[in-house]
Amino acid sequence: MFDKLRIDSFSEYKKVYRESVEEPELFWAKVADDFIWHKKWDKTLEYSFEDANFKWFSGGKLNITENVLDRHVAIHPNKTAIIWEPNNPLEETRIITYRQLHSKVCQFANVLKNNGIVKGDRVCIYMPMIPELAIAMLACARIGAVHSIVFAGFSSAAIASRINDAQCKLLVTANEVYRGEKPINLKAICDEALKESPSIQTCIVYRRAIEPTSMVGGRDKFWMEEMHKVTDHCTPESMDAEDPLFILYTSGSTGKPKGMVHTIGGYLIETAYSFENIFQMQPNDIFWCTADIGWITGHSYIVYGPLACGATTVMFEGVPSYPDFGRFWEIVEKLKITHFYTAPTAIRSLAKEPLSFVEKYDLSSLKVLGSVGEPINEEAWHWYNDFIGKGNCPIVDTWWQTETGSILISPLAGITPTRPTFATLPLPGIQLVLMDEQGHEIETIAEKAEGKLAIKFPWPSMARTVYGDHERYKETYFSAYPGYYFTGDGAYRDAMGNYRITGRVDDVVIVSGHNLGTAPIENAINEHQDVAESAVVGYPHPIKGNALYAFVILQNNVEESDALMKEIKETVSKSIGAIAKPDKIQVVNGLPKTRSGKIMRRILRKIASGETDFGDTSTLLDPSVVKDIQEKVEQSK
């Protein structure tokens, strides 16, 4: 699609990278030139690290849906935009062309308007992986409304708090979701949430299943009935490049999730640029990212990136294990997938099943494999390379975050020399640095230069703020190293400049590729009446990457029991979602704390992963607690 922007050799990458660092604004302006604007921008970049203010292409006017839809309808209206694969293989695959997608998006945009939604309003979307989810988000973008997608595995309490935080006016959902064996009634979960969310005036319900659905008069409306009332003509709203496109919540190290705000111009340009160059697609290729659209990976690399490049993108409703562990490979064969992008946790869980699940299918359509979400370990990398790629498919290990909007470190498929477990080199325009303990840049060229990963110059798709809390944005990302964006990750760099990300250095745990804050989980556990206090840490897990270990102090006179442990897990499930349930709960008498009362999770992390060297424990208030916890853990083994 973007022929002019496509890098096609390693020497060209090096040249473009160098130019992008020497004159970043010129570089990004050239990229932005290839998109459809109503009016060109006044200034490419204005920024201040000190105030954490970043503006790209401000004064520029555009509508993102013209770039991801109208533009392609004009060139290839009958090209497939979305292939939808249902949870149940007996149900039919849906093929949606660019023309059809455009028509549905415009229609649903009119539905939103009919229901009082105007530019700037926030719309919450709580939907399963069906095409209507993509349609709803693009419809928001068409009229300048801001979407806030909540992953359909979250609980009613989690939806309510997100709706309330952004004061969403409308909620889009479906009556049921199918993932694996049992259907889940999403509408019932929404009804619970809406008891606590008075800002919602309308709830639009897509009938995923022909089930009786309880509807609240005046508030709830069926998708189909609303669609029948409108045409498929909808003039795209002319938006400023810096107007918000969406809010997406991500967990932080303190209680409340952060609503990361992404803006239209920079996000469009960089998701498209990164998609084009990393995946190196050919016109008839088929791209499948297995993430859920409820996470940033789905936003950027199922919807916006691929569609901006006019590619064919696959949406899968189900799970890798249903009806059996061959489901992914069956789909690869059936849809002739050329580009397959998944998470290390999925790779590890499939690698432990018999190889016959892989060998049963013809995977020869595959050209490129991708990985995202957490560091990929050596073993999983080789299994992926040998048995899925048959040694013929470059693996792009892509590092990025909800906050970065698009991939910042990755090989370009077939171009950048790869190194197992390394995300390799920064994309053009991305100025990475490693920081030492004193907060200085590590400039050493060595086989292993190790530090904390930070970024020295703004990039277009970076989040602009935390919704309603700019101070928190400033504090979280720009206070650790003044003049830099701090990623929260540790990393090392080899002598060739390749980066390997080692993981979070703060209190966020990546479980099965999901970014979970330990603080909200502790808050949930503490809600149980029998719990006095708790601390949650991650520990290495062969399948999930990390699992959660909860250390819990019970109220006096409460007896430890299996039933109680189960109740505690349920409390977490209810307030956050099943993915946040701790794998292990250890009852203890005390927690290792500093004099100022901070729990030293570093020590608990070591205990949880079976280590005995705790490093510096001089700030511990009462060192005997540690011994006591270790003994209890030993006893319960």
- Residue 459 structure tokens: 């990039």
- Of the candidates 134, 413, 423, 629, which one interacts with ligand 7RM according to CB under 6 A? 423
| Side-chain-facing half-sphere of 412: CA atoms under 13 Å | 22
Selected binder of ligand 7RM within 86, 373, 411, 582 (CB under 6 A): 373
Which segments within 343-406 are labelled E, that is strand?
368-372, 395-398
296 binds ligand 7RM (CB under 6 A): yes
Residue number, 488 or 517, with CB nearest to ligand 7RM: 488
CB closer to ligand 7RM, 171 vs 433: 433
Nearest distance from residue 544's CB to ligand 7RM, in Å?
A: 13
Which residues 400-419 are close enough to bind ligand 7RM by CB under 6 A? 400-402
Selected from 374, 412, 422, 478, the binder of ligand 7RM by CB under 6 A is 374
- Confirm if 297 and 512 have CB atoms less than 8 A apart: no
Q: How far is the CB of 493 from ligand 7RM (least distance, A)?
A: 14
Reported residue count of the chain is 637
Q: Does 397 bind ligand 7RM (CB under 6 A)?
A: yes
Residue 132 or 403 having the CB closest to ligand 7RM: 403
Structure tokens at 148: 């806030």
Per rule CB under 6 A, is residue 504 in the interface with ligand 7RM? yes
Which of 465, 460, 397 has its CA nearest to residue 425? 397
**Site for ligand 7RM (CB under 6 A): which residue of 244, 394, 426, 488?**
488
461-483 as b/e: b if 16+ CB within 10 A = bbbbbbbeeeebbbebbbebbee
Closest distance of CB 562 from ligand 7RM, Å: 33
**Quick one: which segment of 182-190, 348-356, 438-446, 499-507 binds ligand 7RM (CB under 6 A)?**
499-507
Contact between 534 and ligand 7RM per CB under 6 A: no
> Could you tell me which stretch among 63-71, 84-92, 145-153, 394-402 binds ligand 7RM (CB under 6 A)?
394-402
Looking only at residues 138 through 157 of this chain, which bind ligand 7RM when binding is defined by CB under 6 A?
none
The C-alpha atoms of residue 500 and residue 314 are separated, in whole angstroms, by 29
Is the CB of 464 or the CB of 504 nearer to ligand 7RM?
504
Q: Is 510 in the site for ligand 7RM (CB under 6 A)?
A: yes
Closest distance to ligand 7RM from the beta carbon of 490 (Å): 9
Instruction: Map the footprint of ligand 7RM across residues 224-283, applying CB under 6 A.
Output: 250
* Residue pair 620/592 in contact by the 8 Å Cβ criterion: yes
Of the two residues 266 and 373, which places its CB atom closer to ligand 7RM in the complex?
373
If we measure between CA atoms, which residue out of 424, 420, 370, 359 comes closest to residue 393? 370
3-state SS record for 285-332: CEEEECCCCCCHHHHHHHHHHHHHCCCEEEEECCCCCCCCCCHHHHHH
Tokens of 120: 């700037």
Which is closer to ligand 7RM, CB of 35 or CB of 484? 484
Q: Exposure pattern of 53-76 as b/e (b: 16+ CB <10 Å)?
A: ebbbbbebbbbbbbbbbbbbbeee
Q: How far apart are CA 605 and CA 539, in angstroms?
A: 6
* Beta carbons of 114 and 347 less than 8 angstroms apart: no
Q: Which stretch binds ligand 7RM (CB under 6 A): 42-50, 100-108, 227-235, 372-380?
A: 372-380
Q: Which is nearer to ligand 7RM, 175 or 398 (CB)?
A: 398
Cβ distance 519 to 379 under 8 Å?
no
Footprint of ligand 7RM on this chain (CB under 6 A)?
250, 295-297, 371-375, 397-402, 423, 487-489, 501, 503-504, 510, 515
